Amino acid sequence: MSLDYSEYLSLVQVRPDDIDLFGHVHSAKYLDYFLAARFEQMQKNYLCGMDEFLSRGLGWFLQDFDISFKRQLKMGDVANVYTRIISLEKTGSIVGFRMTNTSNKLVADGKGKFALVDINNARAVSVPDWVVERYSVKEQNT
């Protein structure tokens, strides 16, 4: 079994409300940029969007998140947000990310650990085989 998951790219626009008192994208926004990229890539690349999980009574809840900030983004920038599965675990996944600016300089990187949960009781459930299969796509579905 390969541990070598594909990395995908989403573009996220900086919006005026993202800017903070230093004139940069506020640090809290990067987590949402990461999640925005995941939502898009679940739909576009893994071909199983959050809608499909929700329709089966499942959701992905973030358990742990860490980020290192390297450079600033500012108004007018577009973030290149790359994410990839680091590992699929019994009841969740670890997803790495890196963001670059339009000059391809590293802006931030880090990872998030997600639990797959039954949205009716918020309990962790085993990652089903169909998810393992979809998340292991190699070709870029773009």
Which stretches of the chain bind its own copies, using CB under 8 A? 12-13, 15-17, 19-23, 26-29, 31-33, 35-36, 39, 43, 49-51, 59, 61-69, 72, 75-76, 119, 122
Task: In angstroms, give the least distance from the CB of 57 to its own copies.
Answer: 12
């169909």: which residue's tokens? 130
Of 1 and 16, which has the nearer Cβ to its own copies? 16
Report the residue number, 87 or 132, with the smaller CB distance to its own copies: 87
Nearer to its own copies, 22 or 130 (CB): 22
Instruction: Provide, rounded to whole angstroms, the least separation between the CB of residue 97 and its own copies.
Output: 13
- Minimal distance, residue 2 CB to its own copies, in Å: 28
Sequence-distant (6+) residues with CB within 8 A of 134 are 46, 47, 48
DSSP 61-106: EEEEEEEEE-S---TT-EEEEEEEEEEEETTEEEEEEEEE-TT--E
Specify the residue, 29 or 98, whose C-beta has the smaller distance to its own copies.
29
* CB 85 to its own copies: min, Å: 19
Amino acid type, 133 = E
Task: Output DSSP code: residue 19.
Answer: B
Helix (H) or strand (E) run with residue 130 in it? helix 129-135
